[in-house]
Amino acid sequence: MKRIAIYLGAAALVAACAKPLSAPEGLLSIPATREALAEDMDTKSNVSDEGKFIWNSWDAADIWTTAGAFSPMKVTSGGGTNTVTFSAVLPEGAEASTVAVYPSGAHSLSGTTLTVHYPEEYTYPADTTDSYPLMVARYTEGQGLAFKHVGGIVRIRYKNVPTKAHSILVTFNEKVTGDFAVNLEDAAPVAVMGTGASSVRIRFTPPESGTNTRHFYVPVPTGTLTGLQIVYCDASDAPISGTSYTKTGTVAVTRRKLVKLPGLVLTSFEAGIE
């Protein structure tokens, strides 16, 4: 078996590591960068109390191999910072190849067409706010990985989340979950929304009190959103009475865009999509 460690960091790290890295035989170290959103807010993974966006210790990604399949990569060090080490155990005799995808999931590759999977459900570990934006990075031997967004993110900010809420269910008029084709030959590959409604559930630890503010981030492909419905659910996934919200109107989601749905309060739903 061969172990490959992927080092993910900022552009400064890439510059510092421009020369080939020395590593034990069978260990490949790859500096990598991630692309910021086209907003003043840069969402990557975990959001710290200071508003910084950092990698989580539980983050996982996938890298394609010459064995004809993706191998999962997991963080082995650096969680809670901007630089982490991802490690992957590859099949015997296989090498890293073509592309890496974040986050890890049911992705596939055929020629230059990458099929990425947008999940129907996310889980926020206790006391965290995550985003899991879908990003890809082309792999070239001897070069670093540069992760780029293939879609956008819808941000939902809520005040007074009920203490019995265990999840939030967001239903879109468009297809934003499931499999989407991405052309790796494009300079900036994108995933595009499909037709038909789809729902995304985000599970989280209930707040200790009813006076609180919570942010939720829903990764979506590019396209035009024409409306959404939001409702909080209890531990059995049953909707909680009085917590539903419906918004109509159109908004274009481009690659790297952060769509803001701000200021929702359970007693007064006066907000719109920016």
Residues 20-70 have pLDDT tens digits of 333 333 455 665 667 777 764 544 445 444 334 567 778 889 999 999 999
User: How many domains is the chain built from?
Assistant: 1
Say whether pLDDT at 273 is over 80. no
Which residues is 213 bridged to in the sheet?
Answer: 159
Domain assignment present for residue 103? The answer is yes
Q: Please check whether residue 180 is in contact with residue 101, taking contact to mean a CB–CB distance below 8 angstroms.
A: no
Domain assignment present for residue 65? The answer is yes
Domain assignment present for residue 96? The answer is yes
The arrangement of strands across the sheet holding 60-65 comes to 28-30, 2-8, 84-90, 70-77, 60-65, 96-102, 135-138, 145-149, 32-34
Q: pTM for this one?
A: 0.83
SS3 128: coil
Domain assignment present for residue 270? The answer is no
78-87, 92-101, 111-120, 210-219, range with greatest mean pLDDT: 111-120
Give the phi and the psi of residue 11 in degrees, each rounded to 5: -60, -35
Q: Which residue is listed with tokens 């909680």?
A: 240
Say whether pLDDT at 126 is over 90. no
pLDDT of residue 269: 39
Q: Which two tokens stand for residue 177?
A: 């979950």
Domain assignment present for residue 148? The answer is yes
Domain assignment present for residue 241? The answer is yes
pLDDT of residue 33: 65
Domain assignment present for residue 273? The answer is no
